[in-house]
Structure 1
Amino acid sequence: MLEEVTTEFIFKFMLIFARLGTAFMLFPALGDHNVFMRGRLAIAMTVTFVLYLLIMSSLPAYSENLLYNVSLLFIEVVIGLIITIGAKCYFLSLHTIGQIISMQSGLGAATFFDPGQRSQVAIFGNLLIISTTVYIFITDTHYLFIQVILDSYTRFPPGELLEISDMSKFVTHVVNDSFILAFKISSPFLLLGMVLLVGAGILSRLMPNLQVFFILTPAQVLLMFMILYLVMETLVEKIITAVQMTMGLTSF
């Protein structure tokens, strides 16, 4: 009897952990590589135990069919990916924004190692990632992540197959919208960069002997930093709002 109870508990616990653990790997801030792995694992295990007490009655029972049990775990992993892929896409659009700012400021060659991407990225991208991560905890958005996982058991009951067409439409929409949002946010920098280059071209035609880029580069860097200082808060708020909205879409 005790063995059956233990097996049932472990199976249901693993079902919850499969969905929540997958989501925690991709959630912005919580799934960041800067957060040490054991800490993320401890948080995921704790939240899994809390959710188990809330939803254990809605979970499918353990079966002697190994293939059936594995398929349930696989479905839970896929659901965890779908829940978080939207928030991750919007969060990673900060790298695109940072790359555009770096190119427009003339600091495109200034890169920094990002442990999340495991590659060299634009230094402005890292600045925006760190600022947005701090803002997520300040605005208590990380609590929304846990709420979304709890709500997902109403939207995606365990053991039910997903609609592939709805999944593909959602992923396509999020990827497309994240790129559009990145270019909209970067528009002030693109506009200023174009104005500076047009002005430098006119000045070079009027004064051919003038070293235009020697004068332009410091002004370009200074102006880009000034624009970033002015729009930094709005920029981060736009990304956080997009993350919160896509979390709302996956929970209803």
Structure 2
Amino acid sequence: MMLEKITIEFIFQFMLVFARLGTAFSKLPAIGSPYIFMRGKLAFALTVSFVMMPILQPYLPRYSENFANNIGYLAIEILIGLIISVAANIYFQSLHFVGQIVSMQSGLGAAAFFDPMQKSQVAIFSNFMLLVAIVFIFATDTHFIFIQAVAESYAKFPPGELVNSGDLSEFIAFVINDSFILSFKISSPFLVVGLAIMTGSGMLARLMPNLQVFFVITPAQILVMFGTMYIVIEAVVTKLTATIANSLNVMGF
């Protein structure tokens, strides 16, 4: 009988750990990317849950005979995992906005294609920047920061305790506001270069009215934007990953 209770308690506690980790990993940048197949993400979440189970044991509640309490614990764990992952993903998805701006500034705004992974029309620069950011996160081991943030969330939000709605509202407002600021900062080099190109083309059109400025400037505009992308892409993804890590620190993870 004692062995049966221990087994049930272990399974219950493992389900709590997996509920938070699995939910977080399904939406975190890079780790929860649609380019990673679902079984791989599931296997990764199960493996990390087994590894972190002994470390998180002091935070986990004991198994209760009350079925409603157990379901409530699982629901809270799923909610906390969703909060962590969605906050980080809001910043990551700002690259879509930046990619749209770069596409319009380069004259490739109409060069969109259907991405079956994201199930929507995606600009060329948006998809490129997302792929570069995913590779950068894994290459620089930034995904370990995300895993550490989920692990440290147990000290901030122990299992079974309700999330403070006031703190949650304040955090969501901060993330949305900061994501807009981040998008503007990342896209500012492209906006400045695009403004300079448009100003130059306007002056050229005034000086040479018979010149077909659009056909002359467009290839140079595309080339300049690719050059600007080559120069600033490292700073863009570095700023993005640093902002995501700082946002998790603001929440106390």
Q: Normalising TM by the smaller chain, what interval?
A: over 0.9
Deviations 1:32-55 (A, max 9, x none): 111111111111011111221122
Distance, in Å, in 1 between the alignment partners of 2:246 and 2:52 is 23
| Secondary structure at the counterpart of residue 93 of structure 2 | helix
Q: What corresponds to 2:94 in structure 1?
A: 93
The offset of 1:65, in angstroms, is 2.1
Q: What corresponds to 1:191 in structure 2?
A: 192
Question: Which residue identity is paired with 1:46?
Answer: T
Question: Which residue identity is paired with 1:244?
Answer: A
Give 1:12-51 correspondences, 5 Å limit: 12-51=13-52
Q: What corresponds to 2:151 in structure 1?
A: 150
Question: Given that residues 34 and 118 in structure 2 are in contact (C-alpha distance below 8 angstroms), is that contact kept between their aligned partners in structure 1?
Answer: no
Q: What corresponds to 2:212 in structure 1?
A: 211
- For structure 2, which runs of at least 5 residues remain unmatched after alignment? none
Question: Given that residues 171 and 251 in structure 2 are in contact (C-alpha distance below 8 angstroms), is that contact kept between their aligned partners in structure 1?
Answer: no
TM-score of the aligned structures, taking structure 2 as reference length: 0.94
Give 1:103-118 correspondences, 5 Å limit: 103-115=104-116, 117-118=118-119
The offset of 1:202, in angstroms, is 2.6
TM-score of the aligned structures, taking structure 1 as reference length: 0.94
Deviations 1:183-220 (A, max 9, x none): 11111211221222222223223322221101111111
Question: Given that residues 64 and 70 in structure 2 are in contact (C-alpha distance below 8 angstroms), is that contact kept between their aligned partners in structure 1?
Answer: yes
Distance, in Å, in 2 between the alignment partners of 1:143 and 1:238 is 17
Question: Given that residues 102 and 225 in structure 2 are in contact (C-alpha distance below 8 angstroms), is that contact kept between their aligned partners in structure 1?
Answer: yes
Distance, in Å, in 1 between the alignment partners of 2:152 and 2:27 is 18
Q: What corresponds to 1:177 in structure 2?
A: 178
Question: Which residue identity is paired with 2:136?
Answer: Y
Distance, in Å, in 2 between the alignment partners of 1:61 and 1:116 is 40
The offset of 1:3, in angstroms, is 2.8
- Report how many aligned residue pairs link the two structures: 252
Question: Which residue identity is paired with 2:149?
Answer: V
Q: Among the aligned pairs, what percent are the same residue?
A: 56
Task: Give the direction of change, closer, same or farther, for the CA distance of 1:114–1:178 in structure 2 (3 Å limit).
Answer: farther
In terms of mean alpha carbon deviation, does 202-211 or 177-186 score higher? 202-211
| Secondary structure at the counterpart of residue 179 of structure 1 | helix
Distance, in Å, in 2 between the alignment partners of 1:153 and 1:185 is 33
Question: Which residue identity is paired with 2:111?
Answer: A
Question: Given that residues 34 and 115 in structure 1 are in contact (C-alpha distance below 8 angstroms), is that contact kept between their aligned partners in structure 2?
Answer: no
| Secondary structure at the counterpart of residue 60 of structure 1 | coil
Distance, in Å, in 2 between the alignment partners of 1:41 and 1:178 is 28
In terms of mean alpha carbon deviation, does 216-225 or 80-89 score higher? 80-89
Deviations 1:60-113 (A, max 9, x none): 122222222111111111111122222211111111111110010000111244
